[in-house]
Amino acid sequence: MTPPRRQTARRRTAVLATVPVAVAALLGATGPTAAGTTGAPGAGDPYFPLSGNGGYDVRHYDLTLGYDTGSRRLDATAVVTARATRKLTRFDLDLKGLKVTAVTVDRTAAAFRRDGQELVVTPRHALRAGREFRVTVAYHGTPKPVTDPDGSADGWIPTDDGAFVAGEPQGAMTWFPVNGHPRDKASYDFTITVPKGRTAVANGVLLGRRTAHGRTTFRWRETQPMAAYLATATIGRFRVERYTTRDGIQVYNAVDAREARAAAPVLKQLPAVLAWESRLFGPYPFRAAGAVVDHAPDVGYALETQTRPLYDRAPDLDTLVHESAHQWFGDSVTLTAWKDIWLNEGFATYAEWLYTEQHGGRSAQRTFDALYARPASDGLWAYPPGDPGNGARIFGTPVYARGAMALHELRRAVGDRDFLRILRAWATAHRGGHGTTAQFSRLAEKTSGKQLDGLFRTWLYTPGKPDRP
């Protein structure tokens, strides 16, 4: 994600001046009700305590959405396939706003009630530990975004011709019932019906489209595990471009006509950017790629929605490189707790530095030096990137720029060869899964043969401006 636009100027100045964690184990033992037979109403993340739920692991979401762009009404059905990680007499899904009309568990009507952002479901019969079950939720209403702790909008954001749907960190619950913490990744099917003349863009591969009676239905499928905040169902009047890269990646670009002229020269470079990142980080982790360039000037940020980053306006090349790098760092390898957000944003920011360095621009060292020259009172040093402290800070300058500085210090400590080996090994070992800062630091030490705990402690966890390296 690029930070909210009010922070972008600071970020642009900065740029220019082992195995995956077992999701079931994580979700099955979190929250205050872990010892009982009710699923916890949160996944236990201190930054977003109600995000996610305990007691089950989602395998698949099948979302059928009908959206009227005039009335802004959503009529939808979600089928959630999950496995109970312990005996469940009751469990929660995250869903904010929308009116639920019916819930079934394995085709049998279930009792349900609303409690804030929680949809509390009581199946007719208890679900035994290890059982796979299917929850069907029928719902409708006018979806509205949530306001995040940093003041930015997140979720289903209406536009003048549709909706800009960006879910980081908690917005997925504004448009479908979900286990909303990144710990629980799943595959997705989307069936989205919109007025004729509009295009609905989701994640993965387009399976087909059909127009009848003045409405068009788009079917999308993402088979690779995906965190809920990376799902999208963006709708608008888009010009569509489709092609396949030399590496067999299916590209689908959807661009608002008002942004087309500015976006074209940047999007033209997408295959080259993906090829360059693949050489550094390992094979591209998905079957599909592309971009959704909307005209949503009030949003103020871009997001690395899986396989198809979402831009609120025509991106510049730095932003394209950044959001594309997230397909490895953030999307394929997903954080385990929001305090580890630097594993997403620091890595994507450093990818910008490397791209600039290797394409005739300033070196990463010069970028580092320009940042380090900032006084101790500068916001860059306001808090450590390895644990920002709360949800309001996860998209702040320290996470992006000082996170990238930590990686540059690692590169200086281990040398270019081992540094690139570390990045590639991280993306490969945790492909499709999760990672933590502790796991990354252990991998770096194992790969380089160096003791690096002091480096990580200084650059990720020590408040204030570090001493000159």
Give me the mean pLDDT over the 365-371 stretch: 98
Q: 387 and 342 in contact (C-beta within 8 Å)?
A: no
* pLDDT beyond 70 at 23: no
Q: Nearest Cα to 240, choosing from 191, 308, 299? A: 308
* pLDDT beyond 70 at 324: yes
And the tokens for 188?
């997705």
How far is 54 from 176, CA to CA, in rounded Å?
18
And the tokens for 212?
């009848």
Q: 93 and 179 in contact (C-beta within 8 Å)?
A: yes
At 380, the pLDDT band (50, 70, 90 cuts) reads very high
For the stretch 135-155, pLDDT in tens is 999 999 999 999 999 999 999
For the stretch 195-216, pLDDT in tens is 999 999 999 999 999 999 999 9
Q: What is the dihedral of CA 75, 79, 162, 73, to 10 degrees?
A: 20
24 backbone dihedrals φ, ψ, rounded to 5°? -60, -40
* Torsional sign, CA 281, 286, 292, 298: negative
* Torsional sign, CA 298, 302, 305, 309: positive
369 CB neighbour count, 10 Å cutoff = 13
What SS3 state is found at 191?
Answer: strand
How far is 44 from 280, CA to CA, in rounded Å?
34
Across all residues in the chain, what is the average pLDDT?
93
For the stretch 387-415, pLDDT in tens is 999 999 999 999 999 999 999 999 999 99
Maximum C-alpha span of the chain? 67
Q: Nearest Cα to 69, choosing from 160, 205, 166, 147? A: 160
* pLDDT beyond 80 at 20: no
Q: What is the pLDDT of residue 141?
A: 98
At 24, the pLDDT band (50, 70, 90 cuts) reads very low
How far is 89 from 113, CA to CA, in rounded Å?
14
* E strand or H helix that includes residue 208: strand 205-212
58 backbone dihedrals φ, ψ, rounded to 5°? -75, 135
* pLDDT beyond 80 at 224: yes
At 241, the pLDDT band (50, 70, 90 cuts) reads very high
Q: What is the pLDDT of residue 143?
A: 98
* pLDDT beyond 90 at 331: yes
Q: What is the pLDDT of residue 349?
A: 98
Q: Nearest Cα to 77, choosing from 174, 176, 145, 164? A: 176
Give me the mean pLDDT over the 312-320 stretch: 98
At 37, the pLDDT band (50, 70, 90 cuts) reads confident
What SS3 state is found at 462?
Answer: coil
Measured CA angle at 350 (ends 346, 355), to 5 deg: 155
* pLDDT beyond 50 at 6: no
How far is 96 from 114, CA to CA, in rounded Å?
9
Query: Rounded to the nearest 10 degrees, what angle do helices 342-358 and 403-414 cross at?
Result: 60
At 469, the pLDDT band (50, 70, 90 cuts) reads low
For the chain, percent of residues with pLDDT exceeding 70: 93
How far is 397 from 419, CA to CA, in rounded Å?
23
Using a 10 angstrom Cβ sphere, with 0-12 exposed, 13-18 middle and 19 or more buried, the burial of residue 239 is middle
Give me the mean pLDDT over the 343-349 stretch: 98
And the tokens for 319?
């932003």
For the stretch 164-199, pLDDT in tens is 999 999 999 999 999 999 999 999 999 999 999 999
Residue that has been written with the tokens 């939808």 in this structure: 76
Q: Nearest Cα to 294, choosing from 206, 368, 359, 232? A: 232
* pLDDT beyond 60 at 25: no
